[in-house]
Structure 1
Amino acid sequence: MNSHSPTSLMAALPFARRFARAMVGSQQEGDGLVARSLRQGLAAGLPAHLALYASIASLTADTAPQALSARERQATLLTSLEGLTRQEAAQVLGLDDPAFDTLLDTARKKLRQMVCADVLIIEDEPVIALDLRLLVTRCGHRVVGAASSEAEAIRMATEYKPGLILADVNLGRGGDGITAVRQILRHVSIPVIFVTAYAERLLTAEGVEPAFIISKPFDRMTLAIATYQAITAGQIPAV
């Protein structure tokens, strides 16, 4: 049984889903992981959102050799994607502060050495697209194109064959980023990261949703770990 209030758990669920999906690489498996976490019961000594993260982390382990261990991926996702402090993330993983600092610093050093990807940016705002281009480049990746509409995104994906797509959800008059990605994935298999200022709106577990989501604004490390997870998870995000 969970000792946390239903209200606190409901508030934490969208972000727990994001964390779980990022860890396992798919909407269905991530949401199943959250359900298992709730069924097994949550630690009473932590706030609801931290207890839920802790339960999810306890159920995810290394299933195949990767450059980053499950523990290292959890540490980077919790601090970068989920925005926890180092102290909060250490509590979630059951580590003392020095041990967590060592874990996180090692993971970040590994991320900086990762092989780069060819990235297609789908973003209708020119200034934001430029910022994304600079951020992607500083992470060591190559930007092969920046599309501002559904039609342009589909054309560029066909022409440039990127290894990763970074897509805004709302393209204004240019359409919808999720619709563009749906069309692209009908023909090719490309990992996709969706970018939105309202991540919780895509994390309701109602219908088909993206597997990889990062919230605006985000920093270089958030993009680095999201990119690593999207490329190495071995599954294409459901959209």
Structure 2
Amino acid sequence: MTTQDLSSEIGSALPYLRRYARALTGDQTSGDRYAAATLEAVLADRNMVIEASSPKVGLFKVFHGIWVTTGAPVTTESDGPRAAAQKHLARLTTNSREALLLHTIEEFSLSAVAEIMQIGGDEAEILVETARREMADGLSGRVLIIEDEAIIAMDLESIVADLGHRVTGVARTRDGAVALGAQDTPDLILADIQLADNSSGVDAVNDLLADLGERPVIFITAFPERLLTGDKPEPAFLISKPYSEEQVRSAISQAMFFSSTETLKA
């Protein structure tokens, strides 16, 4: 692989590394620091990426080496949502959340997860299943769905209900979302970006957070790269369309458990 090809591969993978880092830390600034440290390590020794099964796997593998070395910190706050998240995370089996995110949200195969985390394939599978179980236990809440396509909205309702959560309503427009949020306060917002009347799901979410206060948000979009630019605050949880049921289930469990309040500003 030429230097130019390698740079292109890394450039394509970087937005998703940043997404992963942000979901792990619950904070865009912290996540970006880890991504920057990863790039610095790759620039110092690109063989760490070249020798991997793919440049993307290599990039995530370098990240994980740094993440583990620094103790996988999430927050140093003594109170607030991130401090509560830290207490929750302390109860999880070591490395299980990382394995779940890599396999479901970032869509790495179990063999790739094992390579990234430098563990055996069987261990990677066990960690993913353990994370699913631990994060689902005892978690239930109210979920507002903002989605203008009826079939997708019904699918999301089914997934949310199967996880034991209650759907407070389904909104097709920005104004509809704000109205539903005022009627029944959600614990989690699941939002599409482009809505029925050409209004913005991003604007709808920001209106809701301004009225209701901070709470976890999951965005769904067919063009995630447009939101993962690094030019502005970005969502902690972002699912690409077409999505899989497993991605949605994982993101909801992660968001409910971690209670990340990072969202996107238009």
Q: Normalized against structure 2, the TM-score is what? A: 0.82
Matching residue's letter, 1:137: A
Provide the rounded CA distance (Å) in 2 between the counterparts of 1:197 and 1:16: 18
CA contact (8 A) 1:62 1:70 kept: no
Confirm whether residue 16 of structure 1 aligns to residue 17 of structure 2: yes
Greater shift, 33-42 or 181-190, is seen at 33-42
Matching residue's letter, 1:118: R
Change (3 A) 1:113 1:199: same
Confirm whether residue 103 of structure 1 aligns to residue 120 of structure 2: no
Name the counterpart of 2:59. Answer: 52
Greater shift, 91-100 or 160-169, is seen at 91-100
CA contact (8 A) 1:62 1:69 kept: no
From 107, 118, 140, give the equivalent of 1:116. Answer: 140
Matching residue's letter, 2:262: P
Cα offset for 1:80? 0.5
CA contact (8 A) 1:165 1:193 kept: yes
Q: Normalized against structure 1, the TM-score is what? A: 0.90
The percentage of counterpart residues that share the same residue type is 33
- Structure of higher RCO (CA pairs closer than 8 Å, 6+ residues apart): 1
Written as runs of structure 1 = structure 2, the 5 A alignment for 1:162-177 is 162-177=186-201
Summarize deviations over 1:131-178 as a string: whole Å, max 9, x none: 111111112211111111101111111221100000001103151100
Where does the alignment leave 5 or more consecutive residues of structure 2 unmatched?
75-85
CA contact (8 A) 1:138 1:220 kept: no
Confirm whether residue 129 of structure 1 aligns to residue 129 of structure 2: no
Aligned length: 237
Provide the rounded CA distance (Å) in 2 between the counterparts of 1:212 and 1:149: 21
Change (3 A) 1:114 1:52: farther
Matching residue's letter, 1:53: F
Name the counterpart of 2:34. Answer: 33
Q: Cα RMSD between the aligned structures?
A: 2.0
**SS of the residue 2:197 aligns to:** helix
Cα offset for 1:40? 2.6
Name the counterpart of 1:208. Answer: 233
Name the counterpart of 2:176. Answer: 152
Provide the rounded CA distance (Å) in 2 between the counterparts of 1:37 and 1:103: 24
Provide the rounded CA distance (Å) in 2 between the counterparts of 1:182 and 1:227: 19
Greater shift, 11-20 or 216-225, is seen at 216-225
CA contact (8 A) 1:26 1:211 kept: yes
Name the counterpart of 2:78. Answer: none
